[in-house]
Structure 1
Amino acid sequence: MHVHVLGVGALGTLVATHLRASVRQRLMPVSRSRASRWLVPQHVAPYLPDPVRTSLTLHMRDRPMKMQAQAPGSQALRLSVERDGVSITEQGFQLELVSPVDPAQPRLLVPDADGVLHEAPGVPPAPIDSLILSTKADATLAALRPLVTRITPATTVIVLQNGMGVLDQLIERLWPQPEHRPHFILASTTHGCYLKRPLHTVHAGFGALYLGVVPGTHGAVERPLPSSSNTMDPELDLAAIPDSPATYSLRTTLALLLSLPLDVHWERIRMFQLRALRKLIVNACINPTTALVDCKNGELFGASSALELFRALCTEASQVLEAHARDAKAAQTSSEADVAHLSSLPLADLLTQTDADGLPLLDASLQPASMLHEVENVVRATAANWSSMHQDIRSRRGRTEIDFINGYLGELGRAYGIPTPANDLLTHLVKLKAQRTTGSWHGPSM
């Protein structure tokens, strides 16, 4: 099983470090790893890949050893996660160094028994079994293009990013033909983390990681475990995924992620959609505001001006998403429905209520009052965290993910004729601030 990670930022480092620790612990003698083995759910363990045959490859543009504070002469690639002042560090990763001249021909470095990396010349790029996509949303398409020829319909791609619209973009630009598409797992997290330095992430707030399998050619896979079939939010059964080469990576990737000590849940795609859209609205409130005000998340709590801004943002988002869901419901009976679009996800299922006139209404959890309450809860829960958008501004990256968060809501609003002035204003202000940090904000004179 060859697992690749594209995008080793705060979240990519968090997941890659725990994946490597999980594989390493399963290589230990039972007597030394028994405690960690007990943490793997019983319904997950049978589907984990052979740890001896499992590799974890990181994709980077620059040689990371130059960025690490290590002893002179050390060539081991180490990733660290720090929580409550205590760090765990893992090595043993393979590394693909991407050349800007020929991105499709990376240099492969493999670790020896001590974790020291050595170049493997002449080894052709191998097919990718599983790819964790944790780049910034605005950089995804360019970063993924060089890998497309190594991704097959049997590959599983995990989209672990902020915002919405990335999957639409990938399907439209890279895999317009359904039969050529890989399996997609969408991932959303409430873990709070930020980079202290390259390859060292601070796990500032413990949360959960949620997974949803995008409907595809693999058939129905959302079968509850018998032990939880009567619950409102049942655990899903990995055994429902067909036992075939075409779906091996899908089942194995889910098992790997479910084995991590990050409170991981695989849920029905409808439940995942609700959760992802709630997170979109939360991010639309917190991320641009902290980036513009230059503060941690918790500093927004109790600020009356922030509360009024959040109220306006939640109202706009709810109106736009309701129109979007109604459009998806209408498309279900239309011969013009675009099956290549993300509308193949159950957006119409978000309409769970009706008004006095019988018109469908958005799920209660996406209504403005409910969303405003959730934003306040997240501000409190992640009080010590710096938002990812604030980190982009502070690091002078020159751009942010705003187009996939507030910009996404604004684009939907324009498509349905719904004004989104608060989201549009924040989009422009964040772009202006991002450009100013790099001195590129001076356009043509007016």
Structure 2
Amino acid sequence: MHFHVLGVGPIGVLISHHLRMALNPKHSVVLIHKEIAQKKRAQKLGNVLTVERGGAEHTVSGFQSEVFNLRRQLSQDQQRHLEPHDAEAESSSIPDASAPSTEEIESLFVTLKAPAVEAAIRQLQPRLRRDSTIVLMHNGMGMYERLVRDIFRNPEHRPHFILASNDHGAILKTYLHAIHTGMGSITFGIVPDPLGRDFEVGFSSPDAKPSLEDIMPPDEESERYSSLRNTVAVLSSMDGLNTSWKPISHVLTAMKRKLVVNAVINPLTALMGCRNGDIFPTQAALRISSRICSEAAKVFEADYHQGQSPDAPWEALRVGPNDMNDFPAALRREALEQEVQRVAYNTAGNISSMLGDVQKGKATEIDFMNGYLLQMGSTYKVQMPATAMLLNLIKMRTDIPINTSLLGISPGSDQKHERYVPVTQQVLDKALGRKHPWG
């Protein structure tokens, strides 16, 4: 079986590394690179991935490579040398670059950032079948809803989906070399089957355990559930990442908790230009966090009570309004505040992905974090001013170019124009010629 990984950033390297370690060598792990140059670089490195933790480096080889949307990157002359019918053919005019593959994708792990996911899946749609499996591992929420609304509209022809909540920390040292900065866990669940098969029979009682046979009995000849069964099997075997298969309702709760954590920490660190651990020593940050957690808890309660998320196709999961007495304690304001502070403390030395995006002038995931909460607020008529304020501030920060002259940076300095420099009161006072009372 072929397992494809779309997105070879730090989390993509981490997942690919452990995926290759968990699989029998007869199964392929295919890295989908964004650019031809990246594939060439991977080939020069021997298609070896390195994960570093605690100063120790662990390398794994045996990967295959593709280039995402290869045709768009080639000149017309180069494209004429490609053989569309031969997915593995090498172009004589493009050393080390494969022709665009047309083979079916059986299992796709998506580790891209949220803003890039929908367009990438749309490009790969011709290679995805109803018996394919897609594992979504990005930050934020709302992407699954978009994909089934805009791309996979027909439930009977829709691929299987696995939603995963990942709280491992990783950064990219060099291409295909990730540093595992924080040990966490990956909780995943299967989106309910539109055709009615119950994947969660094993969760029906405290004594029962989830079983791959609930997905597909070993003697079943149909290929409809084969890739799903194999994908869940390999996910469950990735012991080094603390993976666990849970009911989809449990996963959604975990995703909502992570959503709130990201909706607080990511924009605050991006706006302040600081590490995760620098925000909560300030009372102002605690007040902002408390307000966002309060707004999120209210909208989660409204969603739980009314039994409907915005545009969420959970027909097999939703059974109508729920008893408020059973509302998960983990989604109440106090629990959310504690989780935000716990994550900030445990990742104190980390730079958030949103700060990294702002520094590099890239699109942020704010629409899939604060934006998703605001969408829920609009659906349930819950006012969310603090959540909206952070979203709008991040959009301002990404839309307004840094004026280096205001920051006292000379045109010939080493400071890059694109680099994010936080505009603090001290910087503004300096620009206006004010003196600080403390010197």
Which of 164, 171, 181 is matched with 1:204 structurally?
Answer: 181
Which of 389, 408, 411 is matched with 2:372 structurally?
Answer: 408
User: What residue is the counterpart of 1:238 in the other structure?
Assistant: 212
TM-score under structure 1 normalisation? Answer: 0.78
User: What residue is the counterpart of 2:307 in the other structure?
Assistant: 328
Equivalent pair of 1:205/1:382 in contact (CA under 8 Å): yes
1:240-265 per-position Cα deviation (integer Å, ceiling 9, x unaligned): 21234111111100111111121100
- Matched residue of 1:15: which SS? helix
TM-score under structure 2 normalisation? Answer: 0.79
- Matched residue of 2:131: which SS? coil
Which of 43, 58, 68 is matched with 1:98 structurally?
Answer: 68
User: What residue is the counterpart of 2:313 in the other structure?
Assistant: 342
Equivalent pair of 1:189/1:207 in contact (CA under 8 Å): yes
User: What residue is the counterpart of 1:148 in the other structure?
Assistant: 125
* Distance change (3 Å), C-alpha of 1:77 and 1:215: same
Pairwise CA distance, 1:342: 2.8
User: What residue is the counterpart of 1:15 in the other structure?
Assistant: 15
- Structure 1 gaps, min length 5: 27-50, 112-116, 332-337, 355-360, 441-446
Structure 2 residue 226 is the aligned partner of structure 1 residue 248: yes
1:159-178 per-position Cα deviation (integer Å, ceiling 9, x unaligned): 11111100000000111110
* Distance change (3 Å), C-alpha of 1:286 and 1:218: same
> How far apart, CA to CA, are the structure 1 residues paired with 2:214 and 2:89?
35
* Distance change (3 Å), C-alpha of 1:365 and 1:415: same
1:324-344 per-position Cα deviation (integer Å, ceiling 9, x unaligned): 233326x9xxxxxx9x84343
Which of 42, 53, 57 is matched with 1:87 structurally?
Answer: 57
Structure 2 residue 33 is the aligned partner of structure 1 residue 60: yes
Pairwise CA distance, 1:7: 1.3
- Structure 2 gaps, min length 5: 74-78, 403-416, 419-439
User: What residue is the counterpart of 2:342 in the other structure?
Assistant: 377
User: What residue is the counterpart of 1:181 in the other structure?
Assistant: 158
Task: Please list, as runs of the form range in 1=range in 2, the aligned pairs for 1:292-307 lying within 5 A after superposition.
Answer: 292-307=271-286
Letter in 1 for 2:55: G
Equivalent pair of 1:326/1:348 in contact (CA under 8 Å): no
User: What residue is the counterpart of 2:197 in the other structure?
Assistant: 219
Pairwise CA distance, 1:12: 1.2
Which deviates the most, 159-168 or 363-372? 363-372
Pairwise CA distance, 1:91: 2.8
* Distance change (3 Å), C-alpha of 1:291 and 1:239: same
User: What residue is the counterpart of 1:36 in the other structure?
Assistant: none
Letter in 1 for 2:215: I
* Distance change (3 Å), C-alpha of 1:229 and 1:319: closer
Pairwise CA distance, 1:82: 1.5
Identity of aligned residues (%): 35
> How far apart, CA to CA, are the structure 2 residues paired with 1:7 and 1:119?
18
Pairwise CA distance, 1:108: 6.1
Structure 2 residue 351 is the aligned partner of structure 1 residue 386: yes
> How far apart, CA to CA, are the structure 1 residues paired with 2:87 and 2:227?
22
> How far apart, CA to CA, are the structure 2 residues paired with 1:348 and 1:177?
21
Equivalent pair of 2:53/2:180 in contact (CA under 8 Å): yes
Answer 1 or 2: higher relative contact order, Cα 8 Å, separation at least 6: 1
1:345-404 per-position Cα deviation (integer Å, ceiling 9, x unaligned): 6467894534xxxxxx7422111111101111111222232222122122222x101000
> How far apart, CA to CA, are the structure 1 residues paired with 2:320 and 2:340?
23
Task: Please list, as runs of the form range in 1=range in 2, the aligned pairs for 1:102-121 lying within 5 A after superposition.
Answer: 102=72, 118-120=96-98
Letter in 1 for 2:235: L
Pairwise CA distance, 1:153: 1.0
Pairwise CA distance, 1:129: 0.6
* Distance change (3 Å), C-alpha of 1:131 and 1:99: closer
Pairwise CA distance, 1:63: 2.7
- Matched residue of 1:154: which SS? strand
> How far apart, CA to CA, are the structure 1 residues paired with 2:398 and 2:65?
31
- Matched residue of 1:155: which SS? strand
> How far apart, CA to CA, are the structure 2 residues paired with 1:281 and 1:292?
17
* Distance change (3 Å), C-alpha of 1:364 and 1:3: same
Pairwise CA distance, 1:80: 2.1
Which of 392, 397, 419 is matched with 1:428 structurally?
Answer: 392
Letter in 2 for 1:250: L
Letter in 1 for 2:274: C
User: What residue is the counterpart of 1:191 in the other structure?
Assistant: 168
> How far apart, CA to CA, are the structure 1 residues paired with 2:109 and 2:263?
24
Structure 2 residue 236 is the aligned partner of structure 1 residue 258: yes
Total equivalences in the alignment: 386
- Matched residue of 2:358: which SS? helix
